[in-house]
Structure 1
């Protein structure tokens, strides 16, 4: 009897070693190695060794990618205009956030337009999917359901049915029988993803795969999973809140960091076509510590509200809490306020929040953070018809930002009367003349304008 060969694989990064190790030398994580049995396949088909001939780049013909509409405008926007045939799309998100709901709705809309869709579920039975589909009002003749986790059976079904769209929910439940490790392990996830990728490219079949996420919010399994797919979408939001944000973090066929906003209702996910109006709904008026900032998410301008609460503390170590923005950015802005404006914040707690569950990372929102903190400290409300934008440097200066025209036009569309922008952005700017644009060079001048000196 042949000796069984084993290897140890890190479940975080996929690093392989012939013996067990306590700490992974690749990702520095502890106790992540799992023993797996493997066999080397010595027989390789001759056709696989022949390969293809290399071509000159100038001789390769290319056309614009043919796209399939999902009939959900927000999802089409995130994907860059629709689904590209043969693409492999990974959708990740917290449990209960709405990944399966969104994909079953997409499958229904596409199937209604005479395209064949196969929905493979490894977590629910066919009857459970039928119950959920009935609740969402989904009925289509070209939507096929397969409750299966065996990768070989899924491949045989695809070869027989030849669908235009394949949806696999989820990748961590599917396994290849030839691999002895458990479903969800590094080897299984890597192999089944590779199989799905070959099927998608050979059949020009767009494929969606659902991925579970870890406690840290990243997609479970090896990092190579995100490298293999064409597009990575993250579903964000609190499961107990109604609004969901679909964010593109990788897209070979469109813009990255594009977002789509949805609202969860009893009939499924409904797209929010005007996110700025939604994010500003319920905004308090005549209240200190709140300001509106135009942000750019991908190619879309979105108006967001930044709120700050600055209160005196008797403790020696004041608190700094940032929700929706980088904590280090908050402390940096407070340091600039202390040094360049003379605001004494050492004895004050500071809580800064971005409403609506939006995560902002761009530096163009710096001026909004500064104005909100100063407004709360002095207890002076900022004019509710004013928006502010600009990157703040360590010297307190306002630096040039991009897409200034889009930001101002979005503010004008929603009825704002005044916009504070970096003075260096005024040259050659084209915008809606219904809004007054004021250029400022530093945060001291900006605070004098919004707080009345």
Structure 2
């Protein structure tokens, strides 16, 4: 009788060890090692078009990928113009954020335009999905629903129905026979994802896979899942809020900095074609500690309001609470303001919020955040009327230029702003008579031109 070989696998990072350990040496997580039966090595997948003979890059033909129109402009923007045939897209987000709603609407649109679509659910029954489809009016004769967890049976359904597009909701609920570990474990997710990749490439089927997230908001499961797929999307927002942001984390067929904005309504997700107008619609007048900033998300300029509240405290360690920006970026700007402008924050609690639930990446909002902090700390309203700010702050207190500033200025003109504060080097390259551009080169100039 053949001896069964086991291995201990970390459920956080996939690290394997022949013996149990309380702490994973790879990701330093405790009590994450689970004993699993060691599965036999599978043959490496080889695409039929691939050849093992090396070729000169100049002799390899390249062409445009055929894409599927999802019928949702914001989703098309995020994935690079449509879903590439034969590609695998992974979407993650917090529970209740609207992942299944978005995919059901997408599946219905593709079924109406391209033919058969298979929606595989490992979490809900066919009746539950039908109830949601009735509410969303996402109905089509070519949209097929199946509730199944066994990947081998799912592959038989795909062979029989020959769909153009397949939705898997979610990959943590699927299992493959012959692997002893539970669904959602590292071994199961690794094998299931490899088989899905094989099916997609062999049959030229586009897959959309839903994945769970951890409490920290990170993608659950092994990192190999992100490496295998072609595109990784993150669905962000507050469940109690109206707005949702779909962000690209990885994209082999397009840029990784695009976002799509949606509004959750009773009939499902509605596209927001003008995010700047939506994020600023509740802003009526200028207030203390409130500044409008301009940022770039991919090729799209967006204007959003940032608010800061600075209040004195007697606590030994003051609070730093932020929503929508990086805490380390806030600490950097506070240190520069204390050093260069002599504004004390060491005895103050600081709260910062980006209105609308948008998470800011990059340094576009540094100058606007600094102005909001100064306004709240000194309890002064900003004298400059109807303005926005854009610019990066350096450690020496200088205001550095940002890229694509011209597009932000055009967006500000479209939204009716009268003044814009921007780095002096950006001002030199912008010619406009519709908006007053105020160029600055250091934080000290802010005090004279803004307050």
Q: TM-score range by the shorter chain?
A: over 0.9
Question: What is the CA distance between 1:48 and its match in structure 2?
Answer: 11
The CA distance in 2 between the partners of 1:227 and 1:48, in whole Å, is 17
Q: How far, CA to CA, are the matches of 2:36 and 2:47 in structure 1?
A: 26
**1:325 alignment partner in structure 2:** 325
In the TM superposition, what is the alpha-carbon distance from 1:320 to its structure 2 partner? 2.3
User: Could you tell me which residue of structure 1 aligns to residue 420 of structure 2?
Assistant: 419
Where 1:420 maps in the other structure, the secondary structure is strand
Q: Deviations over 1:227-276 (max 9, x none)?
A: 11100001111111111111111111111131111111111110111111
Residue 221 of structure 2 corresponds to residue 228 of structure 1: no
Which stretch has the larger CA shift, 442-451 or 202-211? 442-451
**Equivalent runs, 1:57-68 vs 2, <5 Å:** 57-68=57-68
Change (3 A) 1:20 1:439: same
Q: CA deviation at 1:59?
A: 2.5
Q: Work out whether residues 385 and 418 of structure 2, in 8 Å CA contact, stay in contact via their aligned partners in 1.
A: no
Matched, 1:187 2:187: yes
How far is 1:401 from its partner? 0.9
Q: CA deviation at 1:433?
A: 3.0
> What are the residue-to-residue correspondences of 1:13-412 with 2, within 5 Å?
13-40=13-40, 52-56=51-55, 57-382=57-382, 383-412=384-413
Kept in 2: contact 1:285–1:384 (CA 8 A): no
How far apart in 1 are the matches of 2:306 and 2:39?
Answer: 57
Cα deviation for residue 21 of structure 1 reads 1.3
Supply the distance in 1 between the matched residues of 2:70 and 2:149 (Cα, whole angstroms).
Answer: 26
- How far apart are 1:279 and its partner, in Å? 0.7
Per the TM alignment, residue 116 of structure 1 is displaced from its structure 2 partner at its CA by: 1.6
Q: Deviations over 1:40-72 (max 9, x none)?
A: 369x79x999x8432413332111111111110
**SS of corresponding position for 1:7:** strand
Q: Which moved more, 1:142-151 or 1:432-441?
A: 432-441
Structure 1 Cα separation of the partners of residues 342 and 51 of structure 2: 69
Take 2:288 and 2:426, find their aligned partners in 1: how far apart are those partners? 28
C-alpha displacement of 1:283: 1.4
- Distance, in Å, in 2 between the alignment partners of 1:362 and 1:58 is 36
Alpha-carbon distance in structure 2 between the residues aligned to 1:100 and 1:11: 25
Change in Cα spacing, 1:424 to 1:39, as seen in structure 2 (3 Å) is closer
Q: Calculate the TM-score normalised by the size of structure 2.
A: 0.95
CA shift for structure 1 position 341: 1.4
In structure 2, C-alpha distance between the alignment counterparts of 1:428 and 1:285, rounded to whole Å: 30
Contact preservation (8 Å) 1:291, 1:384: no
C-alpha distance in 1, partners of 2:67/2:204? 11
SS in 2 for 1:357: coil
SS at match of 2:209: strand
User: In 1, Cα distance between the equivalents of 2:385 and 2:311?
Assistant: 22
Contact kept, 8 Å, 1:114 with 1:142, in 2: the verdict is no
> Are the structure 2 counterparts of residues 230 and 41 from structure 1 closer, same or farther at C-alpha, using a change threshold of 3 Å?
closer
3-state SS of 2:232 partner: strand
Secondary structure at 1:322's aligned position in 2? Answer: strand
**Offset at 1:217?**
0.8
CA contact (8 A) 1:255 1:298 kept: yes
Q: Contact 2:114–2:164 (CA<8 Å) still a contact in 1?
A: no
SS, match of residue 295 in structure 1 = strand
Name structure 2 gaps, 5 residues minimum.
none
Structure 1 pair 29–69 and aligned structure 2 pair: CA distance change class (3 A): same
CA contact (8 A) 1:85 1:205 kept: yes
Q: Is the 8 A contact 1:245 1:261 kept in 2?
A: yes
**3-state SS, counterpart of residue 339 of structure 1:** helix
Structure 1 residues without counterparts, runs of 5 or longer: none
More off after superposition, 18-27 vs 211-220 = 18-27
Q: Judging changes above 3 Å, is the alpha-carbon distance between structure 1 residues 304 and 176 closer, same or farther for their aligned structure 2 residues?
A: same
Shift of 1:181: 1.1
TM-fit CA distance, 1:281? 1.5
Partner residue in 2 for 1:428: 429
